[in-house]
C-alpha cells in the first residue's frame, strides 16, 4: 500500500499546488494567491498537504486554516476559519483529506480561542465533515441583489486602501466578530492579487461609515458595509456610492444580508435590493460549552472573496469572501470551506 506523508506547504510546492487547486476548484490559481493568503496574512495561518511518500510526492489533499483576530462577548480573542480544503481519492487510497483534516484540527481551537471553528464548505464537503470532523449546520440564507440605481453624484472619499478610521467605524457598530483592523482590511482587499476593491469613507450627520466593493465584470460585490445605526442617515450616502459605481461601468450590485441591529434592511430595500434565489450555506465545528453553536450570537467573518453587507466572503477563494457571518445567524460561504 502506498504511504501518505503529511507536512506543511513549502514554497517549492506552489507550482504543483496551484495546478491542484485549479483542477479541484475549477478556476485558475497562481502562486501569488497562496503567498498572499498564507504568507502575508496578519495572523496565524496553516497550509498543510497530504502527499505520496514515494515517487514524485504527488499532492493528494490540502487543508488550510486562518486564525482571525476577533471580539467575542466583549473580549479579544481569535477565531479559526477553515479554507481551501480539497482532496482526491485516486490510486485507491483512503481519502487523504480525512487524515489530513484530523491532523490539522487536532489542536484547534486552542485555549484562549473562540471554542468553535467556522467555514463555508460546499454541500459535498459539509456532508463529509459531518461524518468525520463533527461539523454542524448553522444556517443558509439568500443574498441580496439588484440594479444599481442612477444615484446622485456628490463628493466622496474613496480609494483602494484604508487607515485606522475604518476600524473605528467597525467599533462604532458595536458588534462581535472578526476585528476589522486596517491591517486585516488592507490585507484582505488591497494586497489581494488579481482582484480590485474600492473603499468608501462615508459620512452622515457627523458619523462615519465604511463600504468596500469588489469590481467583478459589470457587478459590484459588497464586501464590507459598516454603517453605525446611531445618528447616521445612510440612504443618500449609498446613492452617491451607486453613482460612483455606475460611473465606473458597473450596473448591478450584490450584498449579503446585514447584521441585525444596524437598521440597514429598509435602506437596502429602498435601493432596490431584493433576495435572490441563490442560497448560501454556513457550517461550524465545535461549540460554546454545552450550547449548540447555532444558537450562539456571534458575528464572524472570514477572508475570502467578498460580497455582502456587514461583510462577506467568496464562493471559492481564500479565506474567505464576506464577509460577515454570524454564528447563530450565520451569513457566509466559501466553497473551499
- Residue 121's pLDDT is 78
pLDDT tens, per residue, the chain with 337 residues: 578 999 999 999 999 999 999 999 999 999 999 999 999 999 999 999 999 988 678 999 999 999 999 998 889 999 999 999 999 876 555 689 999 999 999 999 999 998 888 888 777 778 878 888 888 876 678 899 999 999 888 889 999 999 999 999 999 999 888 999 999 999 999 999 999 999 999 999 999 999 999 999 999 999 999 999 866 689 999 999 999 999 999 999 999 988 877 889 999 999 999 999 877 777 777 754 434 443 443 333 333 332 223 444 333 333 333 222 222 222 232 333 3
Cell numbers 482590511 correspond to 185
In the numeric block, which cell numbers belong to residue 27?
478556476
CB of 257 closer than 8 Å to CB of 145: no
* Angstrom distance (rounded) from CA 278 to CA 265: 18
DSSP 308: S
Domains and CATH numbers, the chain: 4-136 (3.40.630.30), 143-327 (3.40.630)
pLDDT of residue 336: 34
Question: Scanning the structure block, which residue is given the C-alpha cell 476559519?
Answer: 81
Cα separation of the two ends of the chain: 30
Q: What is the CA radius of gyration of the chain?
A: 20
Whole-angstrom distance, CA of residue 297 vs CA of residue 4: 40
**DSSP secondary structure, 199-223, as one string:** EEEEEETTEEEEEEEEEETTEEEEE
* Nearest Cα residue to 334 out of 70, 50, 126, 49: 126
pLDDT for residue 100: 95
Count CA atoms closer than 13 A to 217's CA, side-chain side: 4
pLDDT at 130: 84
Provide, for the chain, the percentages of residues in helix, strand and coil under a 3-state DSSP scheme, each rounded to the nearest 5.
25, 35, 40
3-state class of 70 per DSSP? strand
Query: Is there a cis peptide before residue 273, judged by omega within 30 degrees of 0?
Result: no
Residue bearing cell 433576495: 275
DSSP, collapsed to helix, strand or coil, labels residue 108 as coil
Gap between the Cα atoms of 109 and 88, Å rounded: 26
| The three cell numbers locating residue 247 | 460611473
Q: What angle do CA 144, 147, 150 make, to 5 degrees?
A: 130
Amino acid at each position: 500500500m502506498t504511504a501518505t506523508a503529511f507536512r506543511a506547504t513549502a514554497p517549492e510546492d506552489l507550482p504543483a499546488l496551484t495546478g491542484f487547486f485549479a483542477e479541484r476548484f475549477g478556476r485558475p490559481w497562481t502562486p501569488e494567491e497562496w503567498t498572499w493568503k498564507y504568507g502575508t496574512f496578519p495572523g496565524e495561518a496553516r497550509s498543510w498537504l497530504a502527499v505520496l511518500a514515494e515517487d514524485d510526492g504527488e499532492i493528494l489533499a490540502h487543508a488550510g486554516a486562518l486564525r482571525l483576530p476577533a471580539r467575542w462577548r466583549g473580549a479579544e480573542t481569535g477565531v479559526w476559519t477553515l479554507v481551501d480544503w480539497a482532496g482526491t481519492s485516486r490510486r485507491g487510497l483512503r481519502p487523504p483529506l480525512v487524515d489530513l483534516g484530523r491532523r490539522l484540527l487536532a489542536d484547534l481551537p486552542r485555549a484562549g480561542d473562540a471554542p468553535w471553528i467556522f467555514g463555508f464548505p460546499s454541500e459535498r464537503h459539509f456532508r463529509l465533515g459531518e461524518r468525520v470532523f463533527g461539523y454542524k449546520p448553522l444556517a443558509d440564507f439568500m443574498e441580496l441583489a439588484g440594479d444599481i440605481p442612477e444615484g446622485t453624484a456628490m463628493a466622496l472619499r474613496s480609494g483602494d486602501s484604508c487607515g485606522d478610521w475604518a476600524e473605528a467605524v467597525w467599533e462604532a457598530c458595536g458588534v462581535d466578530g472578526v476585528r476589522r483592523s486596517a491591517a486585516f482590511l488592507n490585507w484582505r482587499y488591497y494586497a489581494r492579487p488579481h482582484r480590485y476593491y474600492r473603499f468608501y469613507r462615508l459620512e452622515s450627520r457627523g458619523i462615519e461609515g465604511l463600504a468596500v466593493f469588489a469590481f467583478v465584470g459589470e457587478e459590484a460585490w459588497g464586501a464590507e458595509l459598516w454603517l453605525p445605526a446611531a445618528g447616521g442617515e445612510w440612504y443618500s450616502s449609498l446613492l452617491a456610492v451607486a453613482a460612483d459605481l455606475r460611473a465606473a461601468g458597473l450596473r448591478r450590485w450584490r450584498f449579503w444580508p446585514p447584521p441585525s441591529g444596524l437598521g440597514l434592511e429598509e435602506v437596502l430595500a429602498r435601493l432596490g435590493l431584493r433576495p435572490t434565489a441563490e442560497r448560501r450555506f454556513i457550517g461550524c465545528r465545535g461549540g460554546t460549552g454545552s450550547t449548540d453553536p447555532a444558537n450562539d450570537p456571534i458575528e464572524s467573518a472570514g477572508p475570502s472573496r467578498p460580497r455582502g453587507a456587514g461583510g462577506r466572503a467568496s464562493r471559492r477563494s481564500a479565506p474567505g469572501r464576506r464577509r460577515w457571518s454570524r454564528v447563530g445567524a450565520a451569513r457566509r460561504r466559501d466553497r473551499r470551506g
